[in-house]
Amino acid sequence: MNEWVIEAKNLTKVYKMGEIEVEALCGLSMQIAPGEVVAIMGPSGSGKSTLMNIIGCLDRPTAGEYILDGVQVSNLKDDQLAAIRNRKVGFVFQSFNLLPRATALANVELPIRYSGSGKGRKERAKQALESVGLQDRIYHRPNELSGGQQQRVAIARSLVNNPAIILADEPTGNLDSKSGEEIMHLLLSLNQERGTTLIIVTHDPGVASKTHRVIHIRDGMVEEEV
Amino acid sequence: MTIWQAFIEALQSLSANKLRSGLTILGIVIGVAAVIAMISIGRGAQDTITGSIQGIGTNLLFVFRGGSEDVRNPQPVTLGDAEAMADKFQAPSVEGVAPILQGNAKVTFGKESHLTQVSGVTPDYSSVRNIKVTEGEFITEDQILGQASVALIGPDTANKLFGRKEGVVGETIRIEGQPFRVTGVLESKGGSSFSNQDDRVLIPLTTAQSRLLRRSTRDRVDLIMVQAINAQSVPLANDEISEILRNRHRTAIGADDFTVFTQQDFLDTAKTITQVLTIFLGGIAAISLLVGGIGIMNIMLVSVTERTREIGLRKALGARRIDILIQFLTESSVLSLLGGVIGIALGWTISYIVGRIAAANQAAINPSMGLDIVLIATLFSTAVGLFFGLYPANRAASLEPVEALRYE
């Protein structure tokens, strides 16, 4: 086991907006240990989203090193990044991002389909849905589920390939406070049961207070760690 | 992702927008149906035309005046030429020779008047063309010698003049005002695409020469029909008559002033013409298939834009470029394949109906639907789907996941 599941060194990300170059990250470094629950907070424009995209292997840093679960990710090709995302990262989005026409089960099956291992797909998807408490809703479509339930399906989807980290972007942002709390509770209990590293990007101090550690980002740098 | 999964998923996402998918498919349906209908009708027409040429007889040769374009003052073919060809020693492969004079003339009986083809023929014409009479008798040697004013008429001609097809032997008709006695009615040969073989008048060749179809010289004829002893000896007979004519006309080598046409030549010409027509019609129909393909491309581009977030999500979950490419290519192929299958059925129906309408109008066209047309149409429409789906699919596959996820 590696010492760190996430190790970022001097991450720099520069966007070109026409003629002007915008530095979204300027030499950011951080480490996250396996099994940790970390919140990333920061005002808009702080580079928080950029950091999240790089951690989630959706984007590459302009400079610097990023090692995810022992794999040097910084200079992988698109399809290799896709494979890393598929196996090592589980995404939970603010707006759930479920396929509207597919059943809960089919939505959860999606990452397994892209991983190329078709064996026991249905069983694994069912188990994942069971672990989020939706075993009796597996054939419902997203529009037949409440917001909280939809987010549970999304969490099941993020779990199904046993990723190294779960990256949740404002997971409670579109939910009322009660289901928001339920979702937070679910995420934390999954972290305890499975030991999956959980990274939550949030504005909500209430959410951040439930994590082990909060990383504040400002102007593309780590401002403080609490 | 197996192909089957991709196919099922494509069907699901297409059925989410039934009207839109249906209209897109309709574009392909019309294209494929048009191609199929045009080609099968064209082939049907070809079969009809070649069939009617074959009906003339497989061992016939036709000799005309005039040959290769550079020959000046071509000599006409004459009765003397015809007699020389009938010589068993000079032309052993020739079975029968029938010199013919042809023209159109007004035929009247009482108040009924009718313009039709009049041919001056010899008794041999009957065996060369395999013509029988239903009543009366064919032109005899005596009638030729006597330049008799007798005429044989086709069943349709009889019907037009007398309102009946039987019991007309002995009546007197007028051809260009001259009286002719009807001595027989020809057996029906059935409709032909070129000229109606049942609407014609046959008179003795000598009568035609002297009184009805006068030509510049006395023994000149319009056409000599030659019957070879069998189908295999047609090329041989061709060589023999050509040699005879070259000697008689004293032509320079390679400057024949006559043309020998075999039935095979007619068949080849007719085939070439109908093939060109079929390709032409099929080509026009193919344009509508192209338009259908553009329809697919258009709708796939809309679909890619609409589903940008979905594409972003799939990429975030680990879909590679190729996965997205296959997903969208499958959708466009399914559209065009469905369109192709329905189009084949529709095209078949159209050609069947056209065949029926043609049959009702006495122009027998049997549209022929070959397996090859079906196969080509299916392949072609799928290729159209793939080709026009490639650009939108590629566009989807090269979306950046970050931007696609952020897309509103």
Q: How far apart are CA B187 and CA B134, in angstroms?
A: 5
DSSP-derived secondary structure letter, B220: B
Tell me the sheet residues that pair with A68: A6, A71
Same domain membership, residue B288 and residue B344 = yes
Same domain membership, residue B239 and residue B125 = yes
The answer, yes or no, to whether residue A16 has pLDDT greater than 50, is: yes
Residue A124 lies in a domain: yes
Same domain membership, residue B121 and residue B79 = yes
Helices and strands per DSSP (H, E), number in chain A: 7, 10
Residue B262 lies in a domain: no
Residue B190 phi/psi, 5° resolution? 85, 160
Tokens of B287: 């344009």
pLDDT digits (tens, 9 = 90+) for A20-66: 888 889 889 999 999 999 999 988 888 888 999 999 999 999 999 99
Give the mean model confidence (pLDDT) for residues A78-99: 92
Q: Which domain holds residue B120?
A: 67-256
For residue A100, CA distances in Å to A143, A150, B335, B341 come to 7, 10, 21, 30
> Looking at the partner chain, which of A82, A87, A101 has a beta carbon nearest the beta carbon of B16?
A101
Q: Which domain holds residue A117?
A: 6-225
* ipTM score above 0.90: yes
Closest residue of chain A to B398, computed from CA coordinates: A78
- Compute the C-alpha angle A199/A36/A64, nearest 5°: 60
Residue B16 lies in a domain: yes
Q: How far apart are CA A47 and CA A218, in angstroms?
A: 7
CB B263 within 8 A of CB B66: no
CB A138 within 8 A of CB A63: no
The answer, yes or no, to whether residue B123 has pLDDT greater than 80, is: yes
Task: Give contacts of A13 with chain B, Cβ < 8 Å.
Answer: none
pLDDT digits (tens, 9 = 90+) for B206-218: 888 888 887 777 7
The confidence score (pLDDT) of residue B69 equals: 65
Q: Supply the CATH number for residue A116's domain.
A: 3.40.50.300
Note whether B323 contacts A118, CB cutoff 8 Å.
no
Same domain membership, residue B221 and residue B298 = no
Note whether B1 contacts A114, CB cutoff 8 Å.
yes
CB B6 within 8 A of CB B327: yes
pLDDT digits (tens, 9 = 90+) for B370-394: 788 888 888 888 888 899 999 999 9
The answer, yes or no, to whether residue B129 has pLDDT greater than 60, is: yes
Residue B59 lies in a domain: no
CB B308 within 8 A of CB B400: no
Q: How far apart are CA B136 and CA B185, in angstroms?
A: 7
Give the count of domains, chain B: 2
Say whether residue B165 is in contact with chain A using an 8 A CB cutoff: no
The answer, yes or no, to whether residue B145 has pLDDT greater than 70, is: yes
Query: What is the overall mean pLDDT for chain A?
Result: 90
Q: How far apart are CA B5 and CA A112, in angstroms?
A: 13
Strands A37-41 and A63-68: unpaired
Residue A169 lies in a domain: yes
The answer, yes or no, to whether residue B193 has pLDDT greater than 70, is: no
Tokens of A217: 């980002």
DSSP-derived secondary structure letter, B314: H
For residue A106, CA distances in Å to A141, A142, A154, A175, B213 come to 9, 11, 11, 23, 88
Same domain membership, residue B39 and residue B172 = no
Tokens of B346: 């529709």
Looking at B197, B230, B256, which one is the last position of a domain?
B256
> Looking at the partner chain, which of A53, A93, A115 has a beta carbon nearest the beta carbon of B318?
A115
Give the mean model confidence (pLDDT) for residues B173-185: 90
Residue B263 lies in a domain: no
Note whether A87 contacts B319, CB cutoff 8 Å.
no
| DSSP string across B76-101 | PPBHHHHHHHT-TTT-TTEEEEEEEE
Note whether A118 contacts B2, CB cutoff 8 Å.
yes
Give the count of domains, chain A: 1
The answer, yes or no, to whether residue A180 has pLDDT greater than 50, is: yes
The answer, yes or no, to whether residue B84 has pLDDT greater than 80, is: yes
The nearest CA of chain A is from the CA of B314 a distance in Å of: 8
Q: Helical H runs in A116-217?
A: 121-131, 147-159, 177-194, 205-208
DSSP-derived secondary structure letter, A166: E
Q: How far apart are CA B205 and CA B143, in angstroms?
A: 9
Predicted confidence band at A105 (pLDDT cuts at 50, 70, 90)?
very high
Same domain membership, residue B401 and residue B377 = yes
The confidence score (pLDDT) of residue A139 equals: 94
Say whether residue B195 is in contact with chain A using an 8 A CB cutoff: no
Predicted confidence band at A189 (pLDDT cuts at 50, 70, 90)?
very high
Same domain membership, residue B232 and residue B158 = yes
**What percent of chain A is modeled with pLDDT above 90?**
66
Note whether B320 contacts A97, CB cutoff 8 Å.
no
Long-range contacts of A42-49 (CB under 8 A, 24+ apart): A42/A216, A42/A217, A42/A218, A42/A223, A43/A218, A46/A217, A46/A218, A46/A219, A46/A220, A47/A13, A47/A217, A47/A219, A47/A220, A47/A221, A48/A201, A48/A217, A49/A201
CB B194 within 8 A of CB B269: no
| DSSP string across B185-207 | EEPP----SSS-TTSEEEEEHHH
Residue B154 lies in a domain: yes
Q: How far apart are CA B148 and CA B208, in angstroms?
A: 10
Residue A218 lies in a domain: yes
Q: How far apart are CA B348 and CA B344, in angstroms?
A: 6
Say whether residue B249 is in contact with chain A using an 8 A CB cutoff: no
The answer, yes or no, to whether residue A93 has pLDDT greater than 80, is: yes
E strand segments, B187-316 = 200-204, 223-228, 258-262
pLDDT digits (tens, 9 = 90+) for B1-53: 577 888 888 888 888 889 999 999 999 999 999 988 888 888 888 888 887 77
Q: How far apart are CA B44 and CA B281, in angstroms?
A: 13
Q: How far apart are CA A171 and CA B363, in angstroms?
A: 75
Provide the residue type at B87 as one letter: D
Lowest mean pLDDT among B152-156, B163-167, B334-338: B163-167
Say whether residue B314 is in contact with chain A using an 8 A CB cutoff: yes
Determine if the pTM surpasses 0.80.
no
Same domain membership, residue B238 and residue B350 = no
- Greatest alpha-carbon span in chain B: 104
**What percent of chain A is modeled with pLDDT above 70?**
98
Residue B261 lies in a domain: no
Residue A1 lies in a domain: no
Same domain membership, residue B233 and residue B90 = yes
For residue A94, CA distances in Å to A52, A88, A182 come to 13, 20, 15
